[in-house]
Structure 1
């Protein structure tokens, strides 16, 4: 019995035979989902640092943790440039108008746009406002902005995850065959709520 019988990961890493779709990635290996992990992770970890720093603002380490939170959010903002670009290409090329998938992608996209706006305001306040006065130590305004960012990115990530895991959008199986198919009849119905087809005796 070989080790490969228990540990086989080559198919998950191989790009052989996968159609390249430009900024959208490869068939079955899209670029957008893994990039979102970096951005969403930063937009959650940074605010967590801010909350801890604010709660312990009388401690010697709170200022360093608060500054770290700002840099983590900045890293997320930088990574979001690629995340937004690849997500836009998915929206442009993969979502036919008038489908529930398109509406869900729109909701996801606008939520993330709003998230980006609050991120930019957060970064401006922390690094530039009043000559960087609010960079050194925990601040209530920065904390509130960070909490809003964390809440919005959680909502946006939930919507994005639903598009993939509930609807199978952009999920592809063997031979470049998409799981999700546009539908004008039952596309408004959540797949978990759709009644099972009747089987004739």
Structure 2
């Protein structure tokens, strides 16, 4: 049986903004910056192996911009999830580190974007320094993602309790009339 503190961390602060019980919005929103930033890194590397790298350098810059915007939206919703975690707990401390790392990564990508836009914008292969900054940012993002997974899968933050989860494992012939599976 989950403690009162555990149960509180499973409930949304605002179902409208953070997602209803058992369906948080933060995990789906983080796919935008992750995908955009991984894509930009692929473009960065590819810009060093093609004859005409300009379009890849510009595409990477745009992907970084999409990632920064997506990260800010995900951060707002993630902050609401953090507010659901009782302070003074290990889960809250992990949540603070997760948030801090994500904000640092977002700031690094915002700086990378400004660096790429400097002067006449990107042309030629992506600068080695910009590529290294992206690689380091992705590595830190991976650590932060691990911590986010720990929050959800180890501590059960914003995850439905076991009784609710058990509904998904009830054979169809044992379900109550009027309830559909799904």
Instruction: Normalising by structure 2, report the TM-score.
Output: 0.76
**What is the aligned counterpart of 1:83 among 71, 74, 94?**
74
CA distance in 2 between counterparts of 1:153 and 1:118 reads 11
- CA deviations on 1:16-41 (whole Å, 9 max, x unpaired) are xxx96231111111111100111112
8 Å contact 1:63–1:136 — kept in the other structure?
A: yes
CA distance in 1 between counterparts of 2:34 and 2:155 reads 21
Moved over 4 A (4+): 173-177
Aligned match of 1:36: 30
Query: 5+ unaligned residues in a row in structure 2: which ranges?
Result: 1-12, 166-182
Query: 5+ unaligned residues in a row in structure 1: which ranges?
Result: 1-18, 178-201
Name the structure where helix makes up a greater proportion of residues: 2
Which piece of structure 1 moves more, 59-68 or 110-119? 59-68
Deviation at 1:170, TM superposition (A): 1.0
8 Å contact 1:43–1:149 — kept in the other structure?
A: no
Paired residue secondary structure (2:47): helix
Identify the structure with bigger relative contact order (alpha carbons < 8 Å, sequence gap 6+): 2
Let me know the Cα RMSD of the aligned residues: 2.2
Deviation at 1:69, TM superposition (A): 1.4
8 Å contact 2:105–2:140 — kept in the other structure?
A: yes
Aligned match of 2:91: 101
Paired residue secondary structure (1:109): helix
How is 1:142-181 mapped onto 2 (pairs within 5 angstroms)?
Answer: 142-173=130-161
The question of 1:72 aligning with 2:63 is answered yes
- CA deviations on 1:24-72 (whole Å, 9 max, x unpaired) are 1111111111001111121222112212223x1xx32422222211111
Q: How many residues align?
A: 153
CA distance in 2 between counterparts of 1:156 and 1:83 reads 13
Paired residue secondary structure (2:30): helix
Aligned match of 2:110: 120
Deviation at 1:174, TM superposition (A): 7.4
Aligned match of 2:180: none
